Amino acid sequence: MPDGVNLSRRSLFRGRLTSNEPRVQLPWSVAWSDFAADCTRCGDCLTACPEQILVKGDGGFPSVDFLRGECTFCGECVAACKVPIFRPTTEAPWQYIAHIEANCLAHGQVFCQRCQDSCEPRAIRFSPVLGRVPTPSIDAAACTGCGACVMDCPVGSIRVGAPAGEESR
C-alpha cells in the first residue's frame, strides 16, 4: 500500500467508516474501538516482532497471522509502540484459545496429532476411542492462544479466537 494514502477517506468512499475488528488482536492491546481510534498504523510493532507474525490487516491496522508462526508473548510489539494502546504486560496477553474445526483429519478417521506435538502447554489432547482414531480436544484453561498449532495443522482446521460463547474479549 503506498505511503500517504488516507485509509479513512478510502473507507468513506467504500461506505465503510470503521475498520473490521480482526479475529485476533495484538497481545495486551486495549479494546478494539480504542485501539483503532489511537493506532497510527506506523508499523513499529510489525518490525519489532521477532516471530514476524504481525502483518498489516484491514485498514492498515496490525493483526496477527498464525500461519506465519506462533506468538511467544515476548512483549516486543508493546515496547515498540509509542502510543498508549496496550495494557501492562504483567496482565494476561489475551483471552483467545484454539478451536478445532470439523475438517480436522482425526474427525475423518485419519491419524494425525501434529497439533498436540506443537502445543507446548499441552492444551491439546487426543482421547482414544474404541474402533476409531483418537480425537482431539482443547483444555481451555491450559490453552494460551499462542497459535503454534495453527501453523502445524496440515489441513488448516485450527483457528484461534474468543472462547466459545463469547462475542469479544
Which residue positions form the known binding site for [4Fe-4S] cluster?
A: 39, 42, 45, 49, 71, 74, 77, 81, 143, 146, 149, 153
Please report which confidence band the pLDDT of residue 20 belongs to, taking 50, 70 and 90 as the band edges: confident
Judge if 76 and 60 occupy the same domain.
yes
Percent of the chain, pLDDT > 90?
80
Question: What's the mean pLDDT in 37-48?
Answer: 96
Q: Which domain holds residue 25?
A: 20-92
For residue 45, count other CB atoms closer than 10 A to its CB. Answer: 22
Which residue positions form the known binding site?
A: 39, 42, 45, 49, 71, 74, 77, 81, 143, 146, 149, 153
- How far apart, in Å, are the Cα atoms of 10 and each of 5, 15, 57? 8, 9, 15
Judge if 127 and 85 occupy the same domain.
no
**Of 50, 73, 92, which closes a domain?**
92
Q: Could you give the number of structural domains in the chain? A: 2
Judge if 78 and 103 occupy the same domain.
no
Q: What is the pLDDT of residues 91-143, one digit of tens each?
A: 999 999 999 999 999 999 999 999 999 999 999 999 998 999 999 999 999 99
